[in-house]
Chain A
């Protein structure tokens, strides 16, 4: 196990270096840049802009900028936002909790509902339920999330007035109940697409497990269908799902760009969008590295979990 972990750690570091180089280069190759907005400002001369560039270190060659940035990052300094000068880590931290709340809720919902729908669809294959689930998943996957978001706001906010249209809390309130009230609609809308994906995978995995020979063995032993499902089918069906869950982890923390925008949710997705708009490169780079680390971590956790639950890997 330790050898495996060390190996993966080394791979991850190489991966992170490559991702950061590509990200840094592409970001700086884009036309415009953080100083472009000042070029249009009549209150600033060319000299002022140049002085600002020198101050921020933007006049140096790109590779020196990268090395400088990377060196600071290794020391724990993620840089400062161009916009308001606050530390990138604290900016990210502020938005992280909001995203965690939204994405955590919707992912938990999606996994619970998707697992149930998937298993039921497989055990009641070609039943009315299965057909409805299939068609429903198709719709949820093909219609864009923002459309569901807007329709949700139209029906539940404008027509029925059940839930607020956006934001994470009412200014001046901020009780747990108020947070939950704001959470309902965006988390449901967001979970739709994930339920669709998860239930489809779960259905396939369950069908796969059901067709295994050891299920027939269990039946020949006289084990009840219920126990076969609980003890033999679900365990084996969930194994491939662990990898999928691992890939889900980064998105729990990096947020949903579109949904957060539709519901004006102050999460990571919106932070990313806003920072790009302002050419706030330190924040964008910070988010990039952050999500790359999460991807690596998510896969690593999935592998470790699989190795823990599957004796063939654990003991091999």
Chain B
């Protein structure tokens, strides 16, 4: 984040005021667009009237009995089957489901962006009354960006790195022959103001790599709004963002939707997000629509078991402290004192050196069998801290007392015998396992290198695999054969091979679906209760941290701004930054989410979620 979140809020408020004043300018611009729209209607009227199931006028998007087939050899023969729903004008429709539920396929089918091997087999999609199934590619293209536009999950890769922000926004208009170069430029700058980006004149000339994730998502939204489409499809637009940025982007989408009377189809896997913005909800499971209804209906009285499971899986701020693990004797495992790490870039010789204090005087203590949550946004230094503790990186100052011995200054050779005692669980379960090694090799290679016999290691590996909930056949298989949640289980088993004293989990559940998250958290909790291992749980998600941590340290710009048990952090936060973080959590307004749902609501030691 290149700017404080508070600043962005502030800017946004100003922007809304500004846009009210600029009503005149907007009317002037509307000319060419309307031309474009009438032209389209004229062309497409015959097709729309030819279909008896054409939707009523207050429906912007109507999907009827839509089925999309998958190529042979896939898990199932269809991506979605018999999906029907309506998106009413001026509403936000949330489509919710886990990965593989077919929600993105639905979105891509509506955009006409399905890959060639995946085809719509039956059903109809009415966009503004026009059935787009089977429409010629050139006609579909003319709809995209003009009648319906889309924003994506990962704002880091969704923008062309070689084009300026301004050029990419103008491209939407140029693609539909709207305006002149000069008018497009002024419109692009207006849009940058509209989505609340600071210094739009400068932003116009910026390349995407200079922008933070939240800013890039704003650029994506500006691009999607350029031609004032009737429908905006948002495919998990906040999943890759920090919690405070997520709150801002959700707010922005809701504001814009209200201001423009736009219809929004919002795809997510997080019921917390649904509670924040949805008017209407469609729940999807394995390609089927299992439940739909107004947001209030679905959230308050979910009918389908799957919906209940998804809602139950949303981690909540407990406000209660975790029942501490019973240990005979609590000893200090880790004591960190004024730990520091500074990143330098550029060259000292030629000036222009940038110095970032990633970790700045961090002090904390962790006892055996306890879990410390390190919470902060990206750039807060929490991952740097994790890397310092496991000595993947040298610290610049301070001490790390592990079992009473300062490891901060140890050389790699001196530290190596201690490595088995401190293990790490990584964020990305896809990138952190070598695709060319079998699970057995991944698990045994470390212990064998540290002197365990191969037979012993194999035995332990099989034991652990069944312990983390995989069948022992997993031993001989390759990582790509497993789902994200299963891979993370493998990652956990790998870390446990050494019988570590300290586990460092760096965003260990952030890449997973909410329902899988809950399972992995449960597993970690269970493992701690059985082995008495201490844990440092690094996450950007306060809700997750509140589930599993005995104590939470909130990090901001390299420093711990607040430390305490979850109850204090969430119910009585002392620092303004913590308050901001807590306020940004989606679905935590009083009464917006049911806190007790019958199914699977119990996870940790009888504590209710």
Q: Which residues of A contact B (CB under 8 A)?
A: 2-3, 212-214, 216-224, 227, 231-232, 235-236, 239, 309-312, 315-316
The 8 Å CB contact of B161, one of A220, A221, A227, A236, is: A236
Judge whether B143 and A222 touch: CB under 8 Å: yes
B70 to chain A, nearest CB (A): 19
Closest residue of chain B to A232 (Cβ to Cβ) is B160
B48-71 vs A, Cβ < 8 Å mask (1 yes, 0 no): 000000000000000000000000
B144 interface hit (Cβ, 8 Å): yes
Judge whether A221 and B162 touch: CB under 8 Å: no
B225 to chain A, nearest CB (A): 12
B343 interface hit (Cβ, 8 Å): no
Judge whether B144 and A2 touch: CB under 8 Å: no
The 8 Å CB contact of B113, one of A216, A235, A316, is: A216
Chain A residues within 8 Å of B389, by CB: none
B567 interface hit (Cβ, 8 Å): no
CA distance in complex: A30, B218 (Å): 67
Q: Check A220/B207 contact, CB under 8 A, given A3-B350, A214-B160, A236-B162.
A: no
Chain A residues within 8 Å of B175, by CB: 221-224, 227
B264 to chain A, nearest CB (A): 15
Judge whether A220 and B160 touch: CB under 8 Å: no
Q: Check A216/B158 contact, CB under 8 A, given A221-B144, A222-B144, A223-B171.
A: yes
B113-129 vs A, Cβ < 8 Å mask (1 yes, 0 no): 10000000000000000
CA distance in complex: A218, B176 (Å): 12
Judge whether A312 and B159 touch: CB under 8 Å: no
B579 interface hit (Cβ, 8 Å): no
CA distance in complex: A213, B151 (Å): 11
Q: Which residues of B contact A (CB under 8 A)?
A: 111, 113, 141-146, 149-150, 152, 154, 157-163, 171-172, 175-176, 207, 209-210, 220, 223, 347, 349-350
Judge whether A315 and B113 touch: CB under 8 Å: no
Closest residue of chain A to B223 (Cβ to Cβ) is A221
Secondary structure at chain A's binding surface: helix, strand, loop or mixed?
helix
Some 28 contacts from A to B, beta carbons below 8 A apart, are A3-B349, A213-B152, A213-B158, A216-B113, A216-B152, A217-B152, A217-B220, A219-B111, A219-B144, A220-B149, A221-B145, A221-B149, A221-B175, A222-B141, A222-B142, A222-B144, A222-B172, A222-B175, A222-B176, A223-B175, A232-B160, A232-B163, A236-B161, A236-B162, A310-B162, A311-B207, A311-B209, A315-B207
Chain B residues within 8 Å of A316, by CB: 209
Residue of B113, B143, B160 with most partner-chain A CB within 10 A: B160
Known: A222-B144, A224-B141. 19 other contacts (CB 8 A): A212-B157, A213-B152, A213-B157, A214-B157, A216-B152, A217-B159, A218-B171, A220-B144, A220-B149, A220-B152, A221-B171, A221-B172, A222-B145, A222-B146, A223-B141, A223-B145, A223-B175, A236-B162, A312-B161
Q: Check A312/B209 contact, CB under 8 A, given A213-B154, A222-B172, A227-B175.
A: yes
Chain B residues within 8 Å of A216, by CB: 113, 152, 158
CA distance in complex: A311, B210 (Å): 10
The 8 Å CB contact of A311, one of B150, B157, B162, B223, is: B162
Judge whether A219 and B113 touch: CB under 8 Å: yes
Chain A residues within 8 Å of B207, by CB: 311-312, 315
Chain B residues within 8 Å of A310, by CB: 161-162
Chain B residues within 8 Å of A2, by CB: 350
Chain B residues within 8 Å of A223, by CB: 141, 145, 171-172, 175
B95 to chain A, nearest CB (A): 17
CA distance in complex: A220, B111 (Å): 7
CA distance in complex: A227, B142 (Å): 14
The 8 Å CB contact of A236, one of B154, B160, B223, is: B160
Chain A residues within 8 Å of B350, by CB: 2-3
Closest residue of chain A to B113 (Cβ to Cβ) is A219
Closest residue of chain B to A239 (Cβ to Cβ) is B162
Secondary structure at chain B's binding surface: helix, strand, loop or mixed?
loop
Chain A residues within 8 Å of B144, by CB: 219-222
CA distance in complex: A227, B177 (Å): 13
Chain A residues within 8 Å of B150, by CB: 220
CA distance in complex: A2, B350 (Å): 8
Chain A residues within 8 Å of B158, by CB: 213-214, 216-217
CA distance in complex: A146, B176 (Å): 53
Closest residue of chain A to B156 (Cβ to Cβ) is A213
Judge whether B113 and A214 touch: CB under 8 Å: no
B356 to chain A, nearest CB (A): 14
B429 to chain A, nearest CB (A): 20
Chain B residues within 8 Å of A219, by CB: 111, 113, 144
Closest residue of chain B to A236 (Cβ to Cβ) is B162
B227 to chain A, nearest CB (A): 8
CA distance in complex: A236, B143 (Å): 27
Q: Check A315/B141 contact, CB under 8 A, given A218-B160, A221-B149, A221-B172.
A: no
Chain A residues within 8 Å of B176, by CB: 222
Closest residue of chain A to B112 (Cβ to Cβ) is A219
CA distance in complex: A239, B162 (Å): 10
CA distance in complex: A316, B210 (Å): 9
Closest residue of chain A to B207 (Cβ to Cβ) is A311
CA distance in complex: A219, B152 (Å): 12
Chain B residues within 8 Å of A224, by CB: 141, 175
CA distance in complex: A158, B80 (Å): 65
Closest residue of chain A to B345 (Cβ to Cβ) is A316
Chain B residues within 8 Å of A311, by CB: 161-162, 207, 209
Chain B residues within 8 Å of A235, by CB: 160, 162
Closest residue of chain B to A310 (Cβ to Cβ) is B162
A157 to chain B, nearest CB (A): 47
CA distance in complex: A222, B137 (Å): 10
Chain B residues within 8 Å of A239, by CB: 162
A219 to chain B, nearest CB (A): 6
B26 to chain A, nearest CB (A): 21
CA distance in complex: A219, B111 (Å): 9
Top 8 A-B pairs, shortest CB-CB distance? A222-B145, A222-B144, A213-B157, A311-B207, A221-B145, A220-B150, A3-B350, A223-B175
CA distance in complex: A221, B158 (Å): 12
CA distance in complex: A2, B163 (Å): 25
Chain B residues within 8 Å of A212, by CB: 157
Chain A residues within 8 Å of B161, by CB: 214, 236, 310-312
Closest residue of chain B to A238 (Cβ to Cβ) is B162
Q: Check A309/B162 contact, CB under 8 A, given A213-B157, A220-B150, A222-B146.
A: yes
Residue of A3, A221, A224, A231 with most partner-chain B CB within 10 A: A221
CA distance in complex: A309, B161 (Å): 11
CA distance in complex: A316, B347 (Å): 12
Closest residue of chain A to B107 (Cβ to Cβ) is A220
B106 to chain A, nearest CB (A): 15
A231 to chain B, nearest CB (A): 8
Closest residue of chain A to B138 (Cβ to Cβ) is A224
Closest residue of chain A to B172 (Cβ to Cβ) is A221
Residue of A3, A220, A232, A315 with most partner-chain B CB within 10 A: A220
CA distance in complex: A214, B209 (Å): 13
B542 to chain A, nearest CB (A): 28
Closest residue of chain B to A7 (Cβ to Cβ) is B347
A240 to chain B, nearest CB (A): 13
CA distance in complex: A235, B150 (Å): 24
CA distance in complex: A217, B226 (Å): 14
Closest residue of chain B to A316 (Cβ to Cβ) is B209
B176 to chain A, nearest CB (A): 6
Closest residue of chain A to B210 (Cβ to Cβ) is A315
Residue of A2, A218, A231 with most partner-chain B CB within 10 A: A218
CA distance in complex: A213, B145 (Å): 16
B64 to chain A, nearest CB (A): 23
CA distance in complex: A98, B433 (Å): 53
CA distance in complex: A217, B175 (Å): 13
CA distance in complex: A221, B207 (Å): 19
CA distance in complex: A249, B154 (Å): 38
The 8 Å CB contact of A220, one of B113, B157, B159, B210, is: B113
CA distance in complex: A316, B346 (Å): 9
CA distance in complex: A239, B159 (Å): 16
B119 to chain A, nearest CB (A): 17
